[in-house]
Amino acid sequence: MNERIQKLAEQAGVPKEYSFVEGATVWKTDQSIERFAELIVRECAQICFSESKGHDMAFGEHCGIVIKEHFGVE
């Protein structure tokens, strides 16, 4: 899980469980939580892309790219 998304999941109280296979504490719903977070990040970035049309397109594009990079979403 992306480090920034993991920190936010901790703040949100997403439950963890101990994995005997990996020998470490892991997120109970690692893939679904990460996918959910990625979808939110993508939608926020898309708002920047959409809202920039007809205005300062360069800033809107840059804003969307920065948001995705900050959260490690491609």
pLDDT value of residue 72: 86
pLDDT value of residue 60: 80
Q: Are 48 and 64 in contact (CB under 8 A)?
A: yes
pLDDT value of residue 20: 58
Kind plus residue range of the DSSP H or E element containing 51: helix 30-52
| CA 71 – CA 7 distance, rounded (Å) | 11
> Token pair of 23, please?
């020998």
pLDDT value of residue 28: 62
**Residue 36's closest CA among 64, 70, 1, 65?**
1
> Token pair of 1, please?
């899980």
Q: Per residue in 4-61, pLDDT tens? A: 877 887 888 877 765 555 556 666 666 777 888 888 999 888 888 887 776 667 778 8
